[in-house]
């Protein structure tokens, strides 16, 4: 299957004044933290900057996101692979753990620039499998697709695009994609991240996504039905630092 570049269907681009061309990475959009300022305050300021940039970079209205196509479901090759990783007798929680660990162990993180010679390119799971490498969204879509082919209900699976806490970038934020799963244990959404904040903690012991503040905010999620935009701060514990108060908002 041919490799396809990303697109989006956010249609409010005309409301945003013309700006310079898109930078090479999300990090380029964000200002450097000012010395002496609270890092959480800076991070929250950056969230608004990033959201504006995401809207600005959107293609012309009507192009359509179609991100669900990157799940490549159904697909015989991925179904066959899923059958070698998990058993039908396993619970969904067990399947998700095994699939996540398989992706972590068998897919190498490689940037799009190194893999394809372009700053950003989304690929299908079969392409990621062929190369045995990819960046964050490539592995996330593969993980999501394997779970679907393993029989995990589609309403328990999402792949998010958003921003995360990035200690290696000076306590700023960075663009990222991750898979979320609504576990059977308590119906809480948890994160299965194959690369940036990868973990091998048992599914039952993972922090619910709504309480995992490393994942600061999301601007869309993908499931088998389509792409859902989340243009407002809709999940994160949004802290109004100046007022010393907290507002909890969930997905």
Range of the domain at 178: 67-248
Range list of β-strands (E), the chain: 108-109, 133-134, 157-166, 172-182, 189-192, 215-223, 226-229, 237-240, 245-248
Examine the pLDDT at 11 and tell me if it is beyond 50. no
pLDDT of residue 8: 41
pLDDT of residue 59: 42
Instruction: Tell whether 14 is covered by a domain.
Output: no
pLDDT of residue 34: 53
- Mind listing the pLDDT tens digit for each residue in 82-116? 999 999 999 999 999 999 999 999 999 999 999 99
pLDDT of residue 235: 45
Instruction: Tell whether 229 is covered by a domain.
Output: yes
Burial class (CB in 10 A: 0-12, 13-18, 19+), 17: exposed
Instruction: Tell whether 23 is covered by a domain.
Output: no
Instruction: Tell whether 28 is covered by a domain.
Output: no
- Phi and psi at 239, nearest 5°, equal -100, 125
Total domain count, the chain: 1
Instruction: Tell whether 40 is covered by a domain.
Output: no
What CATH number corresponds to the domain at position 93?
3.10.620
Instruction: Tell whether 1 is covered by a domain.
Output: no
């Amino acid at each position: 299957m041919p490799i396809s570049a990303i697109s989006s269907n956010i249609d409010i681009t005309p409301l945003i004044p013309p700006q310079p061309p898109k930078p090479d990475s999300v990090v380029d959009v964000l200002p450097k933290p000012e010395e002496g300022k609270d890092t959480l305050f800076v991070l929250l300021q950056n969230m608004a900057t990033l959201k504006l940039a995401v809207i600005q970079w959107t293609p012309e209205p009507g192009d359509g996101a179609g991100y669900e196509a990157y799940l490549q479901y159904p697909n015989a090759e991925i179904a066959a692979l899923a059958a070698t990783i998990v058993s039908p007798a396993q619970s969904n929680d067990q399947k998700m753990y095994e699939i996540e660990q398989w992706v972590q162990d068998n897919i190498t993180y490689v940037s799009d620039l190194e893999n394809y010679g372009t700053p950003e390119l989304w690929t299908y799971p079969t392409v990621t499998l062929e190369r045995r490498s990819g960046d964050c969204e490539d592995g996330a879509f593969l993980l999501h697709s394997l779970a679907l082919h393993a029989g995990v209900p589609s309403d328990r699976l999402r792949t998010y695009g958003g921003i995360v806490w990035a200690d290696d970038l000076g306590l700023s934020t960075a663009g990222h994609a991750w898979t979320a799963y609504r576990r059977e244990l308590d119906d809480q959404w948890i994160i299965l991240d194959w690369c940036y904040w990868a973990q091998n903690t048992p599914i039952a012991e993972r922090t619910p996504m709504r309480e995992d503040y490393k994942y600061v905010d999301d601007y869309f999620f993908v499931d088998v039905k389509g792409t859902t935009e989340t243009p407002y701060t809709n999940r994160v514990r949004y802290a109004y630092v100046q007022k010393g108060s907290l507002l909890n908002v969930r997905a």
